[in-house]
Structure 1
């Protein structure tokens, strides 16, 4: 049993249209996520191009075939741009437009010279290139929460690229004929391979969206809604990991405990809305002073902490002073009032003699309360003493 060309064309168009419909539905559900609209639009454009290439090119002028071929590549380019947009990167618009221009010129040349064999080989090469670009964008930055879907989708795209290159090589090795694909052994069945792989790609995209949403929900549960700082529990988990890394590589680890001075008066005099505004601006001021690898958390109320990997006590004290000055320079506008803020900071470090998390926390806690007793709005470096328990309440 063999599959004739009309059957192959019909099934191809049907599958591609279904894929476009699935991605469109995905976009309608998750309009707030960047990139999905690119995927939906690109898939629908591919469907239009496939329809023109397989079903309409015989009854319409040859220019229709050129436009249809370009539409397929344009759809693939848009899906490639969508991957970069999804991960928050700037899509490669310029390279995509260059590829589209080359595709248009090449397709027009081969159609004009009635060289079906050359056109097919040329397009298969472009399809393989577009698959490679999408793989690059998918694996450019592998996120822990979406690792499986990124590799799954990339594997399907890689198999597609190999299929296109093998098919192009096969067509090139055959004698020039009017319908070169018809001469490929078992092509009536071999066409099912890219159909299956394209379905796997769509499945991978849906999985990528689901894993991304799950990762974001998990991350949001670890963060304070108001300030976006890590919650107390999440901070403790990160601290244990950093402590283990510090011990393993014999690296210093420092901790800052920060308590906003007289914050209760802000809530009492200006209301909780003003207090929330003050907390958000305070968190922003602290975060701007931290490095990318530093970890910022909210312990509760007006108490915050910052964990500083690979930082000795001297560097931690300097950073704490920069934070104190940054907070002192804040001018918080809330409810028609202009509020100033001050913060007391305790500094502690594991140093070269090691220690445990309880010792680090209690050392910073004592230093922070010493800053309060000394008049507030200052930084004090703590001295190591026997540990008590846990984070300050």
Structure 2
């Protein structure tokens, strides 16, 4: 069975253009997904470059169209590298596409227009494309959490295979006899290299779609674990962490503590200033708490104006020190809304596993009882559950 090189290359260009359109549509529906715009534009350039280069038939061709096509391909590859950088970090080097396109333009102007040499052109172009694909692969072979790592490495491997193929192509053409190599000859190497190139380009695009899907799935999972107003953990995710921590404490004998936090007179704040101000108070409290707690603590909105902090490897006394610091920090801060100054305080109840046990529901009930007593005694204070027992 004989494969026509031109037909294969045109198929590759059409598929690339199709993938570019699909990515553009995906970007319209997931506007906050980083890197889609750069990757879609890069795929578009590559598809147009392939169309421009390989629609020409026979020995007569437009030399400047070949230069333009090669330049588009290099610029598209640079944009794909930009897409990877934006996807990873949100930042990119805007000069990379221009650098690759500029180098490709210069060497093709020389080897196509000024001093035509198909061997030198193929070698130079293959090496530059290989360098660009290797840079994309290197940017993706990093340690990230699953399932994003699988998507990164799959795409990176596709780039690496393509880079290896281009390097092999350059070496093969370099070793070939002058005037014996043709871009469109049905030689086995040409057929195999074009076929592998098509499959690699398809895998690269599918890989980016897989990266995008993994990122969106991770963000959805993150949103499912967080309170949308304050950004704190929600009750469900806190209970999951508490179950895991309780099991560890049962196994190791370690301690854990719980704080229940309630905004004093929150209903009065809502009634007097309105619910938007009440929401702003909760957001402010969450910000203060996130800055006060330790790195290994878990801060969550438990319901309404109530928040909960789960503290691993912490006794009631140590939790009281942290709770008192949080209470004081929050009480000392003034909030301004629409030109009005608002002063708010919190009441905190504390319990630990040494006095109550490792069952999370019991810890919550004990801390909630201590918090209720703190409110009865005048609010704006921290109460320990153990002190309430006497």
Both proteins in one fold, TM over 0.5: yes
Query: Do the aligned partners of residues 161 and 336 (structure 1) sit closer, same or farther apart at CA in structure 2, a change above 3 Å counting?
Result: same
Q: Tell me what 1:199 maps to.
A: 202
Q: Indicate the SS of the match to 2:72.
A: helix
Q: For residues 129-157 of structure 1, what are the alpha-carbon distances to aligned partners after superposition, in whole Å with 9 as ceiling and x for unaligned?
A: 33333334444353435444334333333
Q: Tell me what 1:187 maps to.
A: 190
Say if 2:16 is the partner of 1:10: no
Q: Give the aligned length.
A: 385
Say if 2:331 is the partner of 1:328: yes
Q: Indicate the SS of the match to 2:188.
A: coil
Q: TM-score, normalised by structure 2?
A: 0.82
Say if 2:212 is the partner of 1:235: no
Q: Indicate the SS of the match to 1:144.
A: coil
More off after superposition, 262-271 vs 50-59: 50-59
Q: Tell me what 2:74 maps to.
A: 73
For residues 107 and 290 of structure 1, the distance between their equivalents in structure 2, rounded to whole angstroms, comes to 60
Q: CA deviation at 1:41?
A: 0.8
8 Å contact from structure 1 (residues 21, 40) kept in 2? yes
Q: CA deviation at 1:300?
A: 0.7
The CA RMSD measured in Å over matched residues stands at: 3.5
Q: CA deviation at 1:303?
A: 0.8
Q: Indicate the SS of the match to 2:92.
A: coil
Q: CA deviation at 1:345?
A: 2.3
**What aligned pairs does 1:1-393 form with structure 2 within 5 A after superposition?**
1-55=1-55, 59-62=61-64, 64-94=65-95, 97-111=98-112, 112-140=114-142, 142-177=144-179, 179-181=181-183, 182=185, 185-244=188-247, 253-309=256-312, 316-334=319-337, 337-350=340-353, 355-358=358-361, 360-383=363-386
Q: For residues 41-100 of structure 1, what are the alpha-carbon distances to aligned partners after superposition, in whole Å with 9 as ceiling and x for unaligned?
A: 1111112222333336963344x4334323212211212212232344312445555545
Q: Tell me what 1:390 maps to.
A: none
Q: For residues 358-382 of structure 1, what are the alpha-carbon distances to aligned partners after superposition, in whole Å with 9 as ceiling and x for unaligned?
A: 4543454344344334432233455
More off after superposition, 1-10 vs 294-303: 1-10
For residues 93 and 249 of structure 2, the distance between their equivalents in structure 1, rounded to whole angstroms, comes to 40
Q: CA deviation at 1:342?
A: 0.7
8 Å contact from structure 2 (residues 4, 186) kept in 1? no
8 Å contact from structure 1 (residues 363, 382) kept in 2? yes
8 Å contact from structure 2 (residues 158, 204) kept in 1? yes
List gaps (5 residues or longer) in structure 2. Answer: none
Query: Do the aligned partners of residues 166 and 59 (structure 1) sit closer, same or farther apart at CA in structure 2, a change above 3 Å counting?
Result: closer
For residues 344 and 21 of structure 1, the distance between their equivalents in structure 2, rounded to whole angstroms, comes to 56
Query: Do the aligned partners of residues 246 and 61 (structure 1) sit closer, same or farther apart at CA in structure 2, a change above 3 Å counting?
Result: farther
Q: Indicate the SS of the match to 1:304.
A: strand
Q: CA deviation at 1:219?
A: 2.8
More off after superposition, 160-169 vs 233-242: 160-169
